[in-house]
């Protein structure tokens, strides 16, 4: 299903990613402790980093498709304008929310004109290289140097060197290796996603990657416990687990897997789900930037009001889900309009005058 030149399944997937962000951030801010077992732990594992990874992958799909609509210099200028706008918004967001993802978007869009002129094979190779570069950097640059891991606090993010290092290497969502998800999205954009064979492959590959990463992590954990019994569980989880900090290859594999699963499911289901539900999800996904920023503002207000760590994890998950229900209800009611931040971004960056189509390079 498509509308106005957009694929409703992509927008619906983006809405599911927003749900994941609402849930994980509500728990990190409002819950007294993060659950380690049971259904709540499984929900949070699915949301932790993987919702943001889905978001970045979908950004890659969207940017690649946008570039085909505005080929040549016109598209390059538009992407670089959007890169600058998102980078500025990301820096402002980073001032109050250390887990900002918008700065990575800014870097990705700035590089997009160059990246999109590479073949899909070279983009895949670059994504793999970035995934492997991160653990290589960890062997020479202490990843924990600026972290207080007991409180997940990053120290020195606003010094010149700390800002660059946080953005590129050791922040919550560093360019290395998070740009890999964007590259993966640009490759997906060139696939016939509406072909049932493609979304079937997405489901199969996604399931295999997710299960494979989890099983390999469990096996390695057993091996490491045997070899180094003094190593604590938190350290083992950081090195061979599938959590997003630090973003090591097993996390990247699991995140690519869950992204494929959600995208494949939405491609399969958007034509089968009730039309009002699809319309609500699509309307929410089309306001992704607005909802992302608004939920950060709401959480910062909650923190300022002293609401940190005041709920059980289950209640905090419920708060995130309830906020999402409110978001899709509001989005559906205003489905014929555009999100406020999306409007501003287009006004700042969209070509104002139609020009002759330039040959794609």
Q: Between these two residues, 10 and 232, which has the higher pLDDT value?
A: 10
- The H or E element that residue 213 is part of is helix 196-227
| Secondary structure (DSSP) of 80-118 | HHHHHHHHHHHHHHHTT-TT--HHHHHHHHHHHHHHTTS
Asked if the model's pLDDT at residue 3 lies above 70, the reply is: no
pTM for the model stands at 0.92
Q: How confident is the model at residue 100 (pLDDT cuts 50, 70, 90)?
A: very high
pLDDT tens column, 242-267? 999 999 999 999 999 999 999 999 99
- Quote the pLDDT of residue 231: 80
Query: 184 with 127: CB under 8 angstroms?
Result: yes
Tally Cβ neighbours within 10 Å of residue 204: 13
Q: Between these two residues, 22 and 230, which has the higher pLDDT value?
A: 22
Terminal CA-to-CA distance of the chain, rounded, Å?
30
Coil, strand, or helix at residue 256? helix
Tokens linked to 10 = 């992509």
Query: 293 with 341: CB under 8 angstroms?
Result: yes
Asked if the model's pLDDT at residue 241 lies above 90, the reply is: no
pLDDT tens column, 27-56? 999 998 887 788 888 889 999 999 999 999
- Quote the pLDDT of residue 307: 87
Tally Cβ neighbours within 10 Å of residue 332: 16
Q: How confident is the model at residue 352 (pLDDT cuts 50, 70, 90)?
A: low
Looking at every residue in the chain, the average pLDDT score rounds to 90
Asked if the model's pLDDT at residue 237 lies above 50, the reply is: yes
Q: Between these two residues, 158 and 72, which has the higher pLDDT value?
A: 158
Asked if the model's pLDDT at residue 358 lies above 70, the reply is: no
Please report the sign of the dihedral spanned by the C-alpha atoms of residue 310, residue 314, residue 319, residue 323: positive
Q: How confident is the model at residue 151 (pLDDT cuts 50, 70, 90)?
A: confident
């Amino acid at each position: 299903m498509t509308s106005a030149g957009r694929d409703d399944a992509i927008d619906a997937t983006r809405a599911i990613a927003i749900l994941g962000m609402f849930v994980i951030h509500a728990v990190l801010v409002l819950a007294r402790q993060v659950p380690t077992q049971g259904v709540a732990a499984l929900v949070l594992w699915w949301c932790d980093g993987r919702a943001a990874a889905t978001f970045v992958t979908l950004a890659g799909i969207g940017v690649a498709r946008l570039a085909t609509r505005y080929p040549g210099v016109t598209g390059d200028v538009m992407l670089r304008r959007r890169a600058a706008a998102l980078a500025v918004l990301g820096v402002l967001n980073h001032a109050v929310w250390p887990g900002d993802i918008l700065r990575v978007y800014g870097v990705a869009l700035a590089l997009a004109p160059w990246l999109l002129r590479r073949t899909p094979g070279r983009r895949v190779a670059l994504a793999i290289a970035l995934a492997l570069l991160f653990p290589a950097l960890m062997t020479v640059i202490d990843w924990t140097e600026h972290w207080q891991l007991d409180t997940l606090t990053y120290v020195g993010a606003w010094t010149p060197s700390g800002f660059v290092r946080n953005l590129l290497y050791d922040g919550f969502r560093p360019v290395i290796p998070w740009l890999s998800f964007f590259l993966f999205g640009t490759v997906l954009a060139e696939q016939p996603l509406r072909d049932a064979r493609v979304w079937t492959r997405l489901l199969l590959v996604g399931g295999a990657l997710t299960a494979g990463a989890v099983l390999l992590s469990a096996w390695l954990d057993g091996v490491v416990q045997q070899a180094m019994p003094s190593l604590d569980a938190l350290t083992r989880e950081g090195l061979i687990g599938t959590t997003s900090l630090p973003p090591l290859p097993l996390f990247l594999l699991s995140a690519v897997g869950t992204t494929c699963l959600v995208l494949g499911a939405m491609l399969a289901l958007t034509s089968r789900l009730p039309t009002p539900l699809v319309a609500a999800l699509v309307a929410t996904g089309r306001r992704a930037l607005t909802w992302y920023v608004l939920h950060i503002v709401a959480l910062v207000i909650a923190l300022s009001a002293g609401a940190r760590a005041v709920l059980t994890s289950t209640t905090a998950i419920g708060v995130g889900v309830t906020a999402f229900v409110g978001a899709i209800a509001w989005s559906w009611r205003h489905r014929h309009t555009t999100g406020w931040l999306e409007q501003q971004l287009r006004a700042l960056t969209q070509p104002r005058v139609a020009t002759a189509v330039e040959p794609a390079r």
